[in-house]
Structure 1
Amino acid sequence: MRIIDFFDRGVSLDPDRACLKDASVTHSYGEVQKRSYRIGNALIAGGLKPEHMAAVYSPNCAVAFECLLGILRAGGAWVPVNARNVAAENAYILDNCDVEVLFYHSEFEASVALFRKECPKIRQYVCIDKPGAVAGTPFVEDWIANAPETDPDVPATRDATASIFSSGGTTGRPKGTQWSHLTWETMIANFYSSLPIGKPPVHLVIAPMTHAAGGVAMMLMAAGATHVILPHFDAEHVMHAIEKEGVTHLFLPPTAIYVLLAHPDVRKHDYSSLEAFIYAAAPMSVEKLKQCLDVFGPVMAQTFGQAEAPMLCTCLTPKDHLVLGNPKLEHRLASCGRPTMFTSVGIMDDDGKLMPPGERGEIVVRGNLVMLRYYKNPEATAEASAFGWHHTGDIGYLDEDGFLYIVDRKKDMIISGGFNVYPSEIEQVIWGHPAVQDCAVIGVPDEKWGEAVKAVIELKPGAKATEAEILKLCKDTLGSVKCPKSAEFWDALPRSPVGKVRKKDIRETFWKDQKRAI
């Protein structure tokens, strides 16, 4: 099935049911379907071919989702663009993924000005909330005004490219993970087999639609879910929305959940409508998870995945969480669940041998959930696909009951607040400071962020620098997500006999008393 077929299934269940609801509009499934027809037909009339790339660059809002559905309706491939990235990184993503059409919110006009210079393959810009600042840039409502309100019905094979999500690289440059319609179909099958739907869902969309929240929304459309869209995370707004809207499903990374738990009014709201409160993207504190079960009830659900094998390689279901107080089983709360129905998960050593239960090695997965390939990057594809399995870069083990535990990371990547951060990119910036001799950027344990980005710096003899100026340099260059949370200065960084900085030794300084290594 095409992804758009799952949305159309939601329409068939009840075309009058609210589909997208934000602060400005509420559109029913039938209305959204007709708007997707018009957007899709306008894209086709403008020359978008099947499997060619189009992107949406916007905060969470109803019209952004409609443009996404329009891209899929036209047979195009959706390239998510994270609004939190710095403009230069998004310019690289758009150009590297050969994006031809960009729908954007006027909030990002300054970034779009850069794209017009750096992304020559983009031949059509469409502003989604008003006419664009540059002459000739249409407002989406005007652009689709004369488009037919009929289904263009563009066929697609299961292996056709449906989307390209960005993943990181060892140099920090994002790689495009190429998903087929079958990738999406498998993810949706894993979702419903792991988290069966009860009453008609109400999904609270808070995290960026370019990440897990968007994926959950697309999956829940097949069940005719109402998507209540918040523009950004605010603990009080989230609590009110769950109670007021009768929310059944939501996704948040652990960092946001910790903010919810710390709010003084967290126990003053009714969460009885919840069926699945999904957390993922970073390790979750077991103690905080116990608090969640106490506050929100037996509704917590954890998934494990990555851009290359999206979201549902494993699932710790709400039922799996019902081990609190059982000394023989409570340790499962530190796991990320069992492999999902349509994905195989194994533990592999460096020679390609699968390890028995309890033995640590690299977590590998295979099946139709795995991406087609890295876009235009056969070398990286071959490396990640060694021995016929996709290599996640995470170290873990499976217990005797098949529950997966992640204990370390094979490469230098840091996951802070659910976002991938690559140390080499930050180190390049810090090395450019005139007082810096050398540096190492690592992830250190942090109760809120899971891992906090930290810079450990060796200054040149006689040179001086402050933590504040290092952090400002990083923030100005890379943005707040990649900026270290702290920096400290050492007289000398530990080095190997050949002079290479020993990051493992630096990390050990901060992780030695922890029960986890990520």
Structure 2
Amino acid sequence: MNIALWLDRTAAVMGARPALMHGTRVVADYATFARRAAGLAAALAARGVAPGDRVGVFAKNLPDYLTCLFGIWRAGAAAVPVNAKLHTKEAAWILADAGAVLCFVSAELAPETDLPCVPLASTEFDALCATDPADAVAREAGDLAWLFYTSGTTGKPKGVQITHAMLAATSLCYPVDVDPVTEADAALYAAPMSHGAGLYALIHVRMGAAHLVPASGGFDAEEVLDLSAAQGSASMFMAPTMVRRLTDAARASGGRGEGIRTIVYGGGPMYRADIEEAVGWFGPKFVQIYGQGECPMAITALSRAEVADRTHPRWAERLASVGRAQSLVEVAIGDATGRPLPPGETGEIMVRGAPVMPGYWRNPEATAKTLKDGWLMTGDVGRLDAEGYLSLADRSKDVIISGGTNIYPREVEEVLLTHPAVHEVSVVGRPSPEWGEEVVAFVVAAPGARIDPAALDAHCLAQMARFKRPKDYVPVPDLPRNNYGKVLKTELRDRLRRDTP
């Protein structure tokens, strides 16, 4: 089934409901949204875009981003959303690798490509949307719908093939495992629509919720707080760093997140100290998910009640986890050969089920390494407890092996973040002639604080084994991040190698 039909079905019964909003202004109801997407699909077909073709979207968050996606799908093509923060050369590489035939762009963005580009929010785009609509092109469950390119921190990004069936599976897990959705809700797009926030748009379209795009087109903590208060019942996806910034902004203004119904967080490590502070300030508004592009947003979830609970005997361990398997996947821990391990053992996280990709785009070698015997080998290290709660240790490439013993950086980071002088921290391994590797912590000081290595050392020794503590604490003004907000540990390791005699 073509996933674009969800928009038609909602518009048929909720056509007058607000659909697309820019700031506090309604720019389209569901009838208009559906009509414009159908017109765009017909215009794409008239331009020669055939079923299975790839169409790029290199744009900041805009209301017509969704018009674009649903128009592409309705035409039977596959969308290639590209992060608007990427360099134009990086965007051009992705579009070329995908074999895109056309690209929609924000007015201020122009990939370095010879592809025809159509700016969103323009008279040209409006003219395309005004084309007489035609029926949606039939699609099979396994047909490509979304080509998602990974962040590429260690090389060129790979294209994850996301099918119509995967979009449906991820979407239907949301109201079961993450958060119910009704037509009274509003999805607020603070995070890039080229990623998880855009994926979550589908279930909100199906349920007739409003779609609220900040006027800034990105994440501004004060703007999110103001828009949520004005709209009410707003739900949004945020990376952990965004939650941290939102909490800081709310505390500074004295606001308690009025109008925010749900914040789904994921996409990177959420440290327990940060989520405890966020829940303490905002209340029970948070749900955690764990996923990858290869199984988008749909591996595990930690419910609102579990995130907020402080009465369960094991609430701290649960809060430090990423929850339990979502409804349409199996999760297991494997050894180096992929053999499942019993509860409590640490190994590679493996996933299988309906939301898992069929493979990487035109990359059989990478596909063979990642998909083994029906399991997605995530590259993440973790463990399952007897109740099915999954705790992440680290990416397998980030594990530090010192004196033959594995040290998981996240465990050290969690401890350091409980010290009042530490605002952010990233722990990596440094080559050591004696131990193979030794632990080094890059530390961003809290406002008004200074980094005292002796105090941090004593703090670590009071809470964990001596061999895990950092051998060095490096003060930094901030941590290097990629365009997706993830800390670039590769850059930190490279810095240590350069500085090591």
TM category, shorter: 0.7 to 0.9
For 1:248-287, list aligned pairs within 5 A: 248-263=234-249, 265=251, 268-269=254-255, 271=257, 273-287=259-273
Residues 365 and 389 in structure 1, CA contact (< 8 A), matched pair in contact too: yes
Q: 1:167 aligns with which of 146, 150, 166?
A: 150
Aligned to 2:121: 129
Question: What is the letter of the counterpart of residue 160 of structure 1?
Answer: D
Residues 456 and 488 in structure 1, CA contact (< 8 A), matched pair in contact too: no
Secondary structure (helix, strand or coil) at the match of 2:135 reads coil
Question: What is the letter of the counterpart of residue 157 of structure 2?
Answer: P
After alignment, is 193-202 or 204-213 more displaced? 193-202
Residue 115 in structure 1 maps to residue 100 in structure 2: no
Residue 227 in structure 1 maps to residue 219 in structure 2: no
Report the CA distance shift for 1:43/1:360 in structure 2 as closer, same or farther (over 3 A): same
Cα offsets for 1:420-471 (capped at 9, x unmatched):
xxxxxxxxxxxxxxxxxxxxxx99959699765989899xxxxxxxxxxxx9
Aligned to 2:450: none
Name the % identity.
31
Separation (CA, whole Å) in 1 of partners of 2:379 and 2:182: 36
Question: What is the letter of the counterpart of residue 319 of structure 2?
Answer: L
Q: 2:340 aligns with which of 324, 342, 354?
A: 354
After alignment, is 479-488 or 181-190 more displaced? 479-488
Separation (CA, whole Å) in 1 of partners of 2:312 and 2:428: 37
Separation (CA, whole Å) in 2 of partners of 1:269 and 1:216: 26
Residues 10 and 225 in structure 1, CA contact (< 8 A), matched pair in contact too: no
Separation (CA, whole Å) in 1 of partners of 2:377 and 2:158: 15
Aligned to 1:85: 86
Cα offsets for 1:69-91 (capped at 9, x unmatched):
11111111010111111122111
Separation (CA, whole Å) in 2 of partners of 1:356 and 1:405: 14
Report the CA distance shift for 1:493/1:187 in structure 2 as closer, same or farther (over 3 A): same
Residue 183 in structure 1 maps to residue 181 in structure 2: no
Aligned to 1:59: 60
- How far apart are residue 331 of structure 1 and its match? 1.5
Residues 454 and 487 in structure 1, CA contact (< 8 A), matched pair in contact too: no
Task: Tell me the TM-score normalized by structure 1.
Answer: 0.77
Residue 324 in structure 1 maps to residue 325 in structure 2: no
Aligned to 1:20: 20
Residue 333 in structure 1 maps to residue 319 in structure 2: yes
Separation (CA, whole Å) in 2 of partners of 1:172 and 1:450: 26
Residue 158 in structure 1 maps to residue 141 in structure 2: yes
Separation (CA, whole Å) in 1 of partners of 2:204 and 2:423: 28
Residues 397 and 404 in structure 1, CA contact (< 8 A), matched pair in contact too: yes
Cα offsets for 1:302-331 (capped at 9, x unmatched):
000000010111110112224314343331
- How far apart are residue 371 of structure 1 and its match? 0.8
Separation (CA, whole Å) in 1 of partners of 2:337 and 2:96: 37
For 1:73-472, list aligned pairs within 5 A: 73-109=74-110, 112=111, 114-116=112-114, 122=115, 124-130=116-122, 139-145=124-130, 147-148=131-132, 150-168=133-151, 171-194=154-177, 195-197=179-181, 200-230=184-214, 231-263=217-249, 265=251, 268-269=254-255, 271=257, 273-411=259-397, 445=413, 452=426
Cα offsets for 1:99-158 (capped at 9, x unmatched):
11101122013xx3x212xxxxx3x32122347xxxxxxx2123444x10x342210111
- How far apart are residue 9 of structure 1 and its match? 3.2
Report the CA distance shift for 1:348/1:481 in structure 2 as closer, same or farther (over 3 A): closer
Secondary structure (helix, strand or coil) at the match of 1:283 reads coil
Residues 186 and 233 in structure 2, CA contact (< 8 A), matched pair in contact too: yes
After alignment, is 97-106 or 166-175 more displaced? 166-175
- How far apart are residue 189 of structure 1 and its match? 1.6
Residues 239 and 266 in structure 1, CA contact (< 8 A), matched pair in contact too: no
Residues 74 and 154 in structure 1, CA contact (< 8 A), matched pair in contact too: yes
- How far apart are residue 222 of structure 1 and its match? 1.0
Question: What is the letter of the counterpart of residue 190 of structure 1?
Answer: C
Separation (CA, whole Å) in 2 of partners of 1:479 and 1:153: 33
Separation (CA, whole Å) in 1 of partners of 2:199 and 2:266: 12
- How far apart are residue 198 of structure 1 and its match? 5.2
**Long gaps (5+) in structure 1:** 117-121, 132-138, 414-441, 459-470, 495-518
After alignment, is 13-22 or 161-170 more displaced? 161-170
- How far apart are residue 234 of structure 1 and its match? 1.2
Once superposed, what is the RMSD of the aligned Cα atoms?
Answer: 3.2
Secondary structure (helix, strand or coil) at the match of 1:106 reads coil
- How far apart are residue 479 of structure 1 and its match? 12
Residues 183 and 210 in structure 2, CA contact (< 8 A), matched pair in contact too: no
Residues 212 and 311 in structure 1, CA contact (< 8 A), matched pair in contact too: yes
Secondary structure (helix, strand or coil) at the match of 2:108 reads helix
- How far apart are residue 197 of structure 1 and its match? 2.8
Cα offsets for 1:353-378 (capped at 9, x unmatched):
10111001100000111012101011
For 1:29-68, list aligned pairs within 5 A: 29-68=30-69
Report the CA distance shift for 1:16/1:199 in structure 2 as closer, same or farther (over 3 A): closer
Separation (CA, whole Å) in 1 of partners of 2:483 and 2:353: 36
Aligned length: 434
- How far apart are residue 10 of structure 1 and its match? 2.8
Question: What is the letter of the counterpart of residue 73 of structure 1?
Answer: R
Residues 79 and 164 in structure 1, CA contact (< 8 A), matched pair in contact too: yes
Separation (CA, whole Å) in 2 of partners of 1:478 and 1:8: 34
Aligned to 1:426: none
Report the CA distance shift for 1:322/1:144 in structure 2 as closer, same or farther (over 3 A): closer
Report the CA distance shift for 1:457/1:31 in structure 2 as closer, same or farther (over 3 A): farther
